[in-house]
Structure 1
Amino acid sequence: MSVQDVLNIIKEKNIEWIDFRFVDLLGKAHHISLPACEVEEETFENGVAFDGSSIHGFRGIEESDMVMMPDTESVYVDPFTAHPTLIVMCNIHTPDGERYERDPRSIAQKAEEFLQTAGVGTTANFAPESEFFIFDDVRYESGMNTSYYSVDSEEGAWNTGRKEEGGNLGFKIGVKGGYVPVQPVDTQQDIRSEMCRLLQEAGLRIERHHHEVATAGQAEINFRFDTLTKTADNLMKYKYIIHNAARQYGKVATFMPKPLFGDNGSGMHVHQSIFDGDTPLFYDKNGYANLSEMALHYIGGILYHAPALLALTNPSTNSFKRLVPGYEAPVNLVFSKGNRSAAVRIPVAAVTPKGCRIEFRTPDSTANPYLAFAAMLMAGLDGIKKKIDPRALGYGPLDKNIYELSDEDKSEIRSVPGTLDEALDALEADHEFLLEGDVFTQDFINNYVDIKRGEAKDVAIRIHPHEYSLYFGC
């Protein structure tokens, strides 16, 4: 889409405001709005200035001037603003016109460029399955003398005795009992359908939606794959629309991996494949699960580098509350066809050559999608370059329910790190594959690790409410 095409949209849709957005290191979107009457072709050529020192992890106050450079391919109309507003995603540049090396969106684009220069293929396709909860109420506090959280949902298993409904209406969802029930058990069909309508109007191709396994309003909406950066843009759009649509219904949506104790958490299973033009490179009708040797080497790279990858794909302390055995969490670093207990699953149902792909099930939506997708691609490309064979390294295939294996058999299977600090240790020890082609830089890795170490420390030094249950009476 050209700049003129965008200007035509502004005129045709009577747009009043242009919302220029960028994404910080943690995956949070930020925006500055300009009156449509002040936006011209030069705005897209020169960019929009902002203060980089006010964004966590960017620049110091002595070098704070930065520029948002709009991407005309990313525009869509905001469905929530009272005044017609057009959203435009941007890359971050320095004042001298250089791409900012800590800009997550630029890193994603550099990963796509590296794929082509490496001569492997022309495009990498990604499709995340980003699960979330829709709650009716959320409250939390962390202070000197108090620490608690409380969430509630009309569907919650704990509400079978609640009176506030004016007579309890029943049909609550039991723990692990929420996978695709019909109404009235599923109370959120309409809100998910409305979310899908808004997502479609914003340009996403919606494939399906349904209630997920956990009690209390766990949901999933799937949208169609696209290339790496476009998919990351789409995931930012997806989360923005889901958060705000829930708010319009008087509810609150969260992508937090483990908001409830004792039930399934929310993951972000990421489907991936590489094409050369229109030719799928992961397909071989004679291979295991119809996978080519290239696809197997890609899996080898993902599984070999997985401990380091998790610092970028599961970058929160809460991520590792989800990654525990017993809740369908993919903690086992093996691959398998159609097996949801493996970290890498090969979908085999109704798959065509162009639909042949691998699914990395470990990530979650606390990840910055630009960084997570770029890191996964770089790990896979390293596997292709070095011909890392996951079969030779003991990563499978393992076509069994891993959760039902004996302890002796399980001891032979490598697991994901158990904490954010362990994942950060792995990233510090293993990140050369990310530096290839200057996709990530050493400065970025060091800065990112420092920020995440700070988060881990913030959680570690605080008193946990459960410690009162364990130790108050000592």
Structure 2
Amino acid sequence: MMVTMAHVTRAARERRAAVALARVFELVERERVEVVDLRFTDLFGQLQHLSIPPEELDGNAFRKGVGFDGSSIRGFQEIHESDMLLVPDPETAFVDPVTEEATLALLCDVRDPVTGEWFSRDPRYVARKAEQYLVETGIAEVSYWGPEAEFFVFDSIRFQIDERSSSYVIDSEEGIWNSGLDGERPNLGYRPQFKGGYFPAPPTDSLQSLRTEVVRALRQVGIRVEAHHHEVATAGQCEIDLRYAPLVKQADQLQTYKYLIKNVARRRGKTATFMPKPLFGDNGCGMHCHQSLWQDGQPLFYDSEGYAQLSPMALHYAAGLLAHSPALLAFCAPTTNSYRRLIPGFEAPVNLVYSQRNRSAAVRVPMYFPDPVAKRLEYRCPDPTANAYLAFSAMLMAGLDGIERGLDPGAPMDVDLYELAPEELAAVRKTPGSLEEALAALEDDREFLLRGGVFTEDLLATWIATKREHDVAAVRTRPHPYEFFLYYDA
């Protein structure tokens, strides 16, 4: 009897799942688990959870799932179709390092109990389909992802809005605006200036210990970290770099990364945010996404004779990213605040070109090492408010479209794009100037996302409609405090 590759792959998956399942029950016993936390991600990237006692976790939970109300989750179901199932993935199990009680965390997929199908608007399902589509194209068997999700750690954040008032106040002991503070405590100085926070040693970098605690927690749950450091902005901007991993696994890890950072900060009496532009006049938070394709254990983006040692495949992939960037940003820069960051002058990649080593280009080719395994593309437009499952999937689909159609990215621009003459800069394509523009671009350019059923029309329609109502219209219809400064005495 002939054994097909599909059978071999399915058998391998089943063996891996059986081993993972056995490990789950071993962890429950060994770690004396008191709570099992079932976690999943809503359409817009928020981590959600449901907790059950360990005795409720049995084989049926993994086969059939655990029920929940899908109508109460953003972007999921209407009230008349609310019953949904969470199906834990045993391969994602870890003992939570920040909870007081011994807690076993499991990431879940979402299933419709009536049809028995996986739920089309479950972001993790979209990412799994993207990985499968990559294999089906025959172009590669795996894509690797290395996101650099920047964040701020503040000491205090206050904000409020109602019919007659609107305000926010950020404070950070590290903020340069506190350099003249005369209060109850001594003022010890050592604060990064605006745009002066890149790589100063402690005591100016006041968050070394906090980041190390986050790294310790990440390592405890099996997430590899390459480095951590203070970032450019004052007031506690940080970055922790994750080791590259396949698409779904990396999106899983990024959700846990954000969860651990927020909880470690809270434990230390601080607050962490991944908001792209919380501070006026200083750098915002991006999520530069390093990506590459591999086949049979070999990198496909390397060519010793190519520009920046890029293969023709890599150039076509880059062309796909650039061609579809306006639509991609509806997922990769999905908030109105994202476009406060995407402005010139703050290392923000607003120019849709590619270049080696150049941080003013939307697609950068890192040149740290000449090794083939290090060859990758860095797409610099995304920010960490993106739902990683959807953003990674959308970028992969754009790159594959570039490969399949043989798109040409044009000539690289190895110059500081911010220093170009106005007439030269005018000829360079730019990122959208607002979320509204990005959503309109997604409406006009979405066919590449629908291939292989990776994204669906209902997901795209829900995303666009919800973002227009709850983000764009909500911000556009409210007076801005700065408008009073500009216009009150008109």
Taking structure 1 as the reference length, the TM-score comes to 0.98
Greater shift after overlay, 36-45 or 421-430?
36-45
Q: Distance in 2 between matches of 1:221 and 1:40?
A: 36
Provide the C-alpha distance between the structure 2 equivalents of 1:274 and 1:360, rounded to a whole number of angstroms: 14
Are 2:169 and 1:150 equivalent residues in the alignment? yes
Residues 166-203 of structure 1 show CA distances to partners (whole Å, capped at 9, x for unaligned) of: 22111221110000001111111111111111111111
Q: Which residue of 2 aligns with 1:434?
A: 449
How big is the shift at 1:277?
2.1
What amino acid maps onto 1:306 in structure 2?
S
Contact 1:16 1:37 in 2 (8 A): no
Corresponding residue number in structure 2 for 1:459 = 475
Residue correspondences, number: 470
Pair 1:443 & 2:462 matched:
no
Structure 1 residues 351 and 252: alpha-carbon distance in aligned structure 2, compared to 1, 3 A threshold: farther
Structure 2 counterpart of 1:191, one-letter code: L
- Of 51, 63, 72, the match for 1:33: 51
The whole-number CA distance in structure 2 between the counterparts of 1:351 and 1:9 is 42
Asked if residue 98 in structure 1 is aligned to residue 98 in structure 2, the reply is: no
Hey, what's the Cα distance between the residues in 1 that align with 2:56 and 2:423? 68
Q: Say which of 424, 428, 432 aligns to 1:413.
A: 428
Task: Show CA shifts across 1:237-273 (max 9, x none).
Answer: 0000000000011000000000000000000000000
- 1:66-104, Cα deviation, whole Å (9 max, x unpaired): 011111111111112221011100111100320111110
Aligned partners of 2:153 and 2:238 also within 8 Å:
yes
Contact 1:157–1:172 (8 Å) recurs in 2: yes
Q: Which amino acid aligns with 1:457?
A: A
Counterpart selection for 1:141 from 153, 160, 172: 160
Tell me the equivalent position of 2:104: 86
The CA deviation at 1:2 is 2.6
Deviations 1:102-144 (A, max 9, x none): 1100000000000000111100000100000000000001111
Asked if 1:70 corresponds to 2:85, the answer is no
SS at structure 2 position matched to 1:2:
helix
Q: Is the 8 A contact 1:123 1:277 kept in 2?
A: no
Partner AA of 2:72 in structure 1: S
Deviations for 1:402-436, whole angstroms, at most 9, x for unmatched residues? 11111111011000000000000000000000000
Return the match for 1:404 from 411, 419, 426. Answer: 419
Residue aligning to 2:70: 52
| In 1, Cα distance between equivalents of 2:312 and 2:268 | 48
* 1:242 alignment counterpart: 261
Q: Which shifted more, 183-192 or 458-467?
A: 183-192
Aligned counterpart, 1:130:
149
Deviation at 1:399, TM superposition (A): 0.4
Alpha carbons 1:130, 1:222 under 8 Å: kept: yes
Q: Find the counterpart in structure 1 of residue 11 from structure 2.
A: none
Return the alpha-carbon distance in structure 1 between the equivalents of residues 119 and 362 of structure 2. 33
Secondary structure of residue in 1 paired with 2:99? coil
Where does 1:346-385 land on structure 2 (aligned, <5 Å)?
346-385=365-404
Counterparts of 2:57 and 2:89, CA distance in 1? 14
Is the CA contact 1:23–1:30 (under 8 Å) kept in the aligned structure 2? yes
Query: Match of 2:486?
Result: 470
Letter in 2 for 1:471: Y
Q: Identical aligned pairs, as a percentage?
A: 51
Shift in CA distance, 240/165, structure 1 to aligned 2, threshold 3 Å: farther
Distance 1:327 1:30 in 2: 33
Q: Is the 8 A contact 2:342 2:350 kept in 1?
A: yes
SS at structure 1 position matched to 2:38: strand
Pick closer, same or farther for the CA change 1:351–1:72 going to 2, 3 Å. farther
- Post-superposition offset of 1:165: 5.5
Letter matched to residue 407 of structure 1: P
| Residues 1:61 and 2:79 aligned together | yes
Q: Are the aligned partners of 2:226 and 2:243 in contact in 1 as well (CA < 8 Å)? A: yes
The one-letter amino acid of 1:78's match is: D
2:252 — aligned with what? 233
Ranges of 4+ aligned residues in structure 1 off by more than 6 Å: none
Q: Which moved more, 1:273-282 or 1:350-359?
A: 350-359
Does structure 1 retain, via aligned residues, the 8 Å contact 2:247–2:392? yes
Letter in 2 for 1:469: F
Q: Deviations over 1:350-385 (max 9, x none)?
A: 242111100000100110000000000000000000
2:237 aligned partner, one-letter code: Q
Q: CA deviation at 1:4?
A: 1.6
**3-state SS in 2 of match to 1:171:** coil
Q: Cα offset for 1:164?
A: 2.7
Match of 1:21 in 2: 39
Verify: 1:178 aligned to 2:193, yes or no: no
| Structure 1 segments unaligned to the other structure (5+ residues) | none
Code of the residue aligned with 1:435 in structure 2: it is L
Q: How far apart, CA to CA, are the structure 2 residues paired with 1:352 and 1:234?
A: 26
SS in structure 2 of the partner of residue 163 of structure 1: coil
Distance in 2 separating the partners of 1:445 and 1:216: 37
Match of 2:336, SS state, is: coil
Q: Residue 6 of structure 1 aligns to a residue in which SS?
A: helix
**Superposed CA RMSD:** 0.8
Shift of 1:43: 1.3
CA distance in 1, matches of 2:185, 2:110: 53
2:292 aligned with 1:273: yes
Residue 160 of structure 1 deviates from its aligned partner by 1.0
Q: Which residue of 1 aligns with 2:301?
A: 282
- 1:302 alignment partner in structure 2: 321
Query: Which residue is equivalent to 1:256?
Result: 275
Quote the residue 2:352 is aligned against: 333
Structure 1 distance, partners of 2:397, 2:368, is: 27
Shift of 1:315: 0.3
Distance 1:388 1:153 in 2: 47
Preserved contact between residue 4 and residue 41 of structure 1 (Cα < 8 Å): no
Give me the whole-angstrom Cα distance separating, in 2, the residues matched to 1:370 and 1:276.
22
**Contact 2:35 / 2:101 at 8 angstroms: preserved in 1?**
yes
1:222 deviation in Å? 0.4
SS of corresponding position for 1:275: strand
- Aligned mates of 2:147, 2:370 — CA distance in 1: 17
Inter-partner Cα distance in structure 2 for 1:241 and 1:453: 30
**Counterpart Cα distance in 1 of 2:281 and 2:426:** 24
Tell me the amino acid that sits aligned with residue 201 of structure 1.
Q
Q: Is the 8 A contact 2:303 2:311 kept in 1?
A: yes
